[in-house]
Chains A and B, each alone.
Chain A
Amino acid sequence: AQSVTQPDIHITVSEGASLELRCNYSYGATPYLFWYVQSPGQGLQLLLKYFSGDTLVQGIKGFEAEFKRSQSSFNLRKPSVHWSDAAEYFCAVGPFGNEKLTFGTGTRLTIIP
């Protein structure tokens, strides 16, 4: 069965600092991996996704993520965070065709001035 672990429930980062959110997955075949962001009162917005090819994927809002098969990880990074990045971030895994996404528990990001 597929599963996703986000080990950090809450992270606090200073504005302008770099960010890395961790995601580990368990999936039998080649996974489809996603990062979604949820701002308060909003739906889940796709930041980026990995299907195949280059293991470093670029997303919206300056985010990137790197797929590391050997570590079963898909960590999200941003070189310099902005106050507007404060939100909940969800990593998700799905099979080919994107049916039935399995989500992690999320990481809440707080930005301090």
Chain B
Amino acid sequence: EPEVTQTPSHQVTQMGQEVILRCVPISNHLYFYWYRQILGQKVEFLVSFYNNEISEKSEIFDDQFSVERPDGSNFTLKIRSTKLEDSAMYFCASTESLAGGVTDTQYFGPGTRLTVL
């Protein structure tokens, strides 16, 4: 069964450093998402991406964050200058369509745990 993959599974970085989290969505999917989950808190939407542009973003997704689909398979989240409060589990998700129905289920990857020291 196709699945969303994410690398690395755990990333440790120093405050102020740039990090890039990588995701490979399911191959025929067109819509891509990033969510995060701070330890002990709820999963929060960060951004959605379609047709090579951001379609929606939350207020968490400020100028320090950016997303990119650099090629036909990868979808990345970059944090330019990490802060302590960016420590969280970051989930990538993808969906085939937004037609409303069976095909627009979001499939999630296993997550990348980001630790900022």
Most buried by A among B6, B58, B104: B104
In the bound complex, residues from chain A placing their C-beta under 8 Å from that of B99 are 97
A46, B106: Cα distance in complex, Å: 8
Interface string of B76-117 (1 = CB under 8 A from A): 000000000000000101010011110011111111000000
A-B contacts, CB under 8 A, total: 59
- Give the dominant DSSP class at A's interface: loop
Residue tally, chain A, CB below 8 Å to B: 23
Contact assessment for B105 and A106 in the assembled complex, using a CB-CB cutoff below 8 Å:
no
Chain B: residues with Cβ within 8 Å of the partner, total of 28
Complex CA gap A36/B99 in Å reads 21
A90/B105 in contact, CB under 8 A: no
Minimum CB–CB distance for B2 against chain A, Å: 13
Contact A105:B108 (CB < 8 A) given known A51-B101, A96-B100, A99-B98 = no
